[in-house]
Structure 1
Amino acid sequence: MSRSCSFSLCAHDWSAYQLAEQLGRGVAELWPSADRGRYAVLNRLAELGYVATRQELTGKRARTIYSITPAGREALAAWLGTPPRPPSVEFEGMVRVLLADQGSLDDLRATLQQTRESALANRDMFARYAAYISATGGTFPERRHLFALANTFMIGHYDHILPWTEWAEQQIADWPDTVTPASTNEAQVRDMLAPGREVWEHDHPDGA
């Protein structure tokens, strides 16, 4: 979250509400932990000297405006120079798939349907962002080339999930339950694993 806040603040000063709104525009889908404690982390950044605060009046109400400090820019630049963590996925639907033998077939079907609906909604959101940035330059026009890189990745991410849910629904269409196919559908399971085996054999022709 602190990196996400620094990312948003490095080009613009924001109130806590505005910053949370900016982080809600696709960042949470890319970095889920950025959506947790989005307000509390600002105090931590201030304690570290990475952001400065000032009070502004909006009508009769005062609000706190946050701006990045030179120390904050230095810390952000240092972080950008370090190796990124390996990509990770926070995907509750897939955990439910892995545990589906503890529930019903209807539960599994509902998980796949809800995963597809969520992927459709998120893909539509990023498609709207792309159209908005293309038409207006976006909130940060000086960074639109970087948003274009990330937007293309996120569209592709959801484009991968959508056909997978359809494929998975086809695979389970004739299953009597979520337990017995491990033994009764051995040929089907091997066919489902074939793409992975082919990748392994291609990358490790000596079997090592």
Structure 2
Amino acid sequence: MPDRELSTTGYLSLGLLAAHDWSAYQLAEQLGRGVAELWPSADRGRYAVLNRLAELQYVDTRQEHTGKRARTIYSITPAGREALAAWLTTPPRPPSVEFEGMVRVLLADQGSLDDLRMTLQRTRESALANREMFARYAAYISATGGTFPERRHLFALANTFMIGHYDHILAWTDWAEQQIAGWPDTVTPASANGEQVRDMLAPGRDVWEQGHPDGA
């Protein structure tokens, strides 16, 4: 059975170590290569996670020296591989979204229309940058095999999802900017633009009706 006290970040670290021995700094580098966009909490408390993995005897450590500087290198143990394999047999948690821009959209009636436009614009800029980053990864993996060539088929699955994720955000920001183009402010459309709001909600209603043909 997988260890209930070990976080997803812990298993992610084991997964990285399953392919290569790394120092804490090198692990952080790997987590920064697109992983943080998929699992934002991966970079938080990573040193504590490594300590936990050592306590559970899921990793071994050794010291390497470069001149007078020493660094700790972590390697996965057989017990660590067994724990990782056991975790992969369990159901994943449901997907979740950490999206501050959407929180700002929900609260936009407490600010100005310019504030809302700024939120949409910054969200678009961020999505463009992140989509470019994953496109760059795709080109790099395609050309070289990447850092983990034995996993490039799996990276291809994940990369395609992330590109599609940012495509969706870009399409949504374009749509949202069109919707608010004629609004006088962020408050009155709730009562003055009833038909528009109903049209905006139509896709959701259609999905509901398709899934509940009997109206239940």
TM-score range, shorter chain: over 0.9
Structure 2 residue aligned with 1:7: 14
Structure 2 residue aligned with 1:203: 211
CA offset digits 1:14-62 (Å, max 9, x no partner): 0111000001111110111112122221112111211111000122211
Identical columns (%): 91
CA offset digits 1:73-103 (Å, max 9, x no partner): 1111111000011111111111111111111
CA offset digits 1:118-149 (Å, max 9, x no partner): 00000000000000000000000000000000
Answer whether contact 2:209 2:215 (CA < 8 A) is retained: yes
Answer whether contact 1:51 1:72 (CA < 8 A) is retained: yes
The answer for unaligned runs of 5 or more in structure 2 is: 1-12
Distance 1:57 1:20, change over 3 A: same
Answer whether contact 1:55 1:65 (CA < 8 A) is retained: yes
**Cα offset, 1:7, TM superposition:** 4.4
Answer whether contact 1:20 1:39 (CA < 8 A) is retained: no
TM-score in terms of structure 2 length: 0.92
Measure the CA separation in 1 of the matches of 2:91 and 2:49: 23
**Cα offset, 1:173, TM superposition:** 0.9
Question: CA-atom RMSD, angstroms?
Answer: 0.9
TM-score in terms of structure 1 length: 0.95
Answer whether contact 2:14 2:80 (CA < 8 A) is retained: no
Measure the CA separation in 1 of the matches of 2:43 and 2:98: 13
The answer for unaligned runs of 5 or more in structure 1 is: 1-5
Match runs of 1:184-199 below 5 Å: 184-199=192-207
Answer whether contact 1:93 1:111 (CA < 8 A) is retained: yes
Measure the CA separation in 2 of the matches of 1:18 and 1:55: 14
CA offset digits 1:173-208 (Å, max 9, x no partner): 111111111000000000000011111111111111
Distance 1:7 1:123, change over 3 A: farther
Q: After the TM superposition, list the runs of 4 or more consecutive aligned residues in structure 1 that deviate by more than 6 angstroms.
A: none
Q: Determine which of 103, 107, 115 is the counterpart of 2:123.
A: 115
Q: Determine which of 76, 79, 82 is the counterpart of 2:87.
A: 79
Measure the CA separation in 2 of the matches of 1:177 and 1:71: 59
